[in-house]
Chain A
Amino acid sequence: TQLLEQSPQFLSIQEGENLTVYCNSSSVFSSLQWYRQEPGEGPVLLVTVVTGGEVKKLKRLTFQFGDARKDSSLHITAAQPGDTGLYLCAGWPLLSNYKLTFGKGTLLTVNP
């Protein structure tokens, strides 16, 4: 059973379109993180959300943490080819004994 469910698994869009990636769980997380991973590289941290209901913006990327701290979303406005990559959500479950748990990822392709 996957503790963090990400959807969609694959997403192929045209440059300029908007998109949202979802990360859901039945467990409460003390914080959630979003990473982007490019081929041949390790994941790079984009943002950490800590407070329920928190919204963080990073240029064209908007991250939201659910009020109950069980889910998060990543919204990209006017996607560009440079946004292409594997987007991973990860979190520290409240009772995890410090095991960082990852979703399986959303593979985003932005076509020019």
Chain B
Amino acid sequence: KAGVTQTPRYLIKTRGQQVTLSCSPISGHRSVSWYQQTPGQGLQFLFEYFSETQRNKGNFPGRFSGRQFSNSRSEMNVSTLELGDSALYLCASGVGSGENIQYFGAGTRLSVL
């Protein structure tokens, strides 16, 4: 069974641009959660999607948004990039919503110059 797939693995953008990251969950998993990982703050929860609906949201500005498609694949978008958005963005999939085992992808390393 294939694991969680995130694309692209690496991305370089400049300030002010926008970026879209993609996550394909494990087959049969219906929830996708996104996290931002930085050396200073560690892993921080961005949002969770289940059956195409956002179920939960972390404390991030509105520049961070996401969506989930009917096949459970998810995308995360960051608009008007700032230097501080440089981070490893991880997505995790789970069978159900809320408290269940999370399986993580390898992440997308975003660098904002």
Size category of the A interface is: 20 to 34
CB of A45 within 8 A of CB of B101, answer yes
Size category of the B interface is: 20 to 34
CB of A98 within 8 A of CB of B99, answer yes
CB of B97 within 8 A of CB of A102, answer no
Other-chain residue from B42, B55, B105 in contact with A98 (beta carbon distance below 8 A): B55
CB of A105 within 8 A of CB of B58, answer no
Bound: A100/B61 CA distance, A: 19
Q: What are 18 A-B pairs at a CB distance below 8 A?
A: A2-B42, A35-B104, A40-B106, A41-B106, A42-B4, A42-B107, A45-B102, A92-B98, A98-B48, A98-B55, A98-B56, A98-B98, A98-B99, A100-B102, A102-B42, A104-B41, A104-B42, A105-B42
Mark A residues whose CB is within 8 Å of B: 2, 30-31, 35, 40-45, 48, 88, 90, 92, 97-105
